[in-house]
Structure 1
Amino acid sequence: MRQRLNKDQWRRVIMKGVVFTEFLDFVSATHGADTADDMIDDAAVPSGGAYTAVGTYPHTEMQALVAALARRTGTPAPDLLGLFGRHLCGRFAVTHPDFFAAQASLFDFLDSVDGHIHVEVHKLYPDAELPVFRLNRRGTDAIDLDYASCRPLEALAEGMIRAAADHYRQPVAIATSRMEEPAGPFVRFSIRHAA
């Protein structure tokens, strides 16, 4: 599914600044501006928390910020990432409503991520390192969505999936499992419509 990164390549993995600016907005909105400032101080990130939406930053800064917020709030990091994923999907629905309007259902939307949405993202940000999503339908009510990324942000992805399900008003049950293949590990989200 993807190539394995060595230790030096791993350190250079970057994320687009829009994710960082949205994360700071999320923290300020949910925990207050003072907590956001304290989180940045606690994380002691090289950028000092001065992010721009069009910049690129090491993904390790996001990990440091989430870890600092987890320590400060007592909320586990995966839970924070899931909540942020919900926030981020909601923001994308506002800033890019055409991506959501183009699809009639959650499964169709998820199926469009790699083949359409990420293509458009690459037009805007040619250097973006995006995760890979591979969807396999299991009948009309269930799919397996494989998520491969050089960043350990599957909780963020799951939060976005749950927010997209809310957007389409299609409740789902999600089971998560870690998988391995010769090209490297990935996470499988087994998603089925819930009554």
Structure 2
Amino acid sequence: MKGVVFREFIDMVESSFSPEIADSIIELSDLSTGGAYTSVGTYDHREIIQLVSRLSERTGIAVPDLLRAFGNHLLGRFAALYPSHFIGRNSTFDFLSILDNKIHVEVKKLYPDAELPVFDHSSPDPNVMAFVYRSKRPFADLAEGLIRGCIAYFNENIDMQREDYPCEEGAHTRFMLRKMVNV
């Protein structure tokens, strides 16, 4: 997992909770890095799982809720750090539809070693999108937070339903997004 994700998580903990809590979750975790992450480095995804688990223990907030909050935060940070990915996109559906075939292609150019999740989508109706997330990592809650962050970024009224599918490792989840059209 790319270091930018780790850095953004630590920054979110510092700003949403406190620098002391960020330091304590790093100290309580068994991290090969000691909690030192560079934005361009690649790190074991299990380290972020440890950090989120320690944050949950410290705050009493459930891990899935923390991952969703982090995903929401991360979308906003990605919009600030990588504005070119958002230029010309005018809706959640428009943005989500380009993740695999445009944004991930660009990410792979910058970080050839990146292990990215796979996203499939279909729109049987202009107001409905089925968005499927597959990953070797257990981050469906993070993906949900990113989608919710995207909805907020584009200031849309979209209902989201989630269905998790069994898989041997990681996550396989379908998100059904429906634009709430004013009648």
TM-score (norm 2): 0.94
Distance, in Å, in 2 between the alignment partners of 1:38 and 1:89 is 25
Aligned counterparts of 1:30 and 1:45: Cα–Cα separation in 2: 22
Q: Deviations over 1:15-66 (max 9, x none)?
A: 0111001100010010110000001111222211011111111111010000
Corresponding position: 1:86 with 2:72: yes
What's 1:156 paired with?
142
Query: Which residue of structure 2 lines up, in the alignment, with residue 179 of structure 1?
Result: 165
1:30 aligns with 2:16: yes
The letter of the residue matching 1:134 is D
Question: Do residues 54 (structure 1) and 40 (structure 2) align?
Answer: yes
**Match for residue 3 of structure 1?**
none
| CA–CA distance in structure 2, aligned partners of residues 188 and 171 of structure 1 | 19
Question: Residues 58-77 of structure 1, C-alpha deviation per residue, up to 9 Å, x if partnerless?
Answer: 11101000000000000001
Please list every run of 5 or more consecutive structure 2 residues that lacks an aligned counterpart in the other structure.
none
- The count of residues paired between Structure 1 and Structure 2 equals 181
Give the deviation of 1:172 after TM superposition: 1.3
The runs of at least 4 consecutive aligned structure 1 residues that moved more than 6 Å come to none
Offset of 1:149 from its aligned partner? Answer: 0.4
TM-score (norm 1): 0.88
**How far did 1:173 drift?**
1.2
Q: Which residue of 1 aligns with 2:63?
A: 77
Calculate the aligned-residue CA RMSD, in Å: 1.7
**1:161 Cα offset (Å):** 0.7
Structure-to-structure mapping, 1:1-195, within 5 angstroms: 15-180=1-166, 186-195=172-181
Deviation, 1:179, is: 2.3
Q: Give me the whole-angstrom Cα distance separating, in 1, the residues matched to 2:58 and 2:171.
A: 31
Unaligned 5+ runs, structure 1 = 1-14
What is the letter of the counterpart of residue 147 of structure 2? I
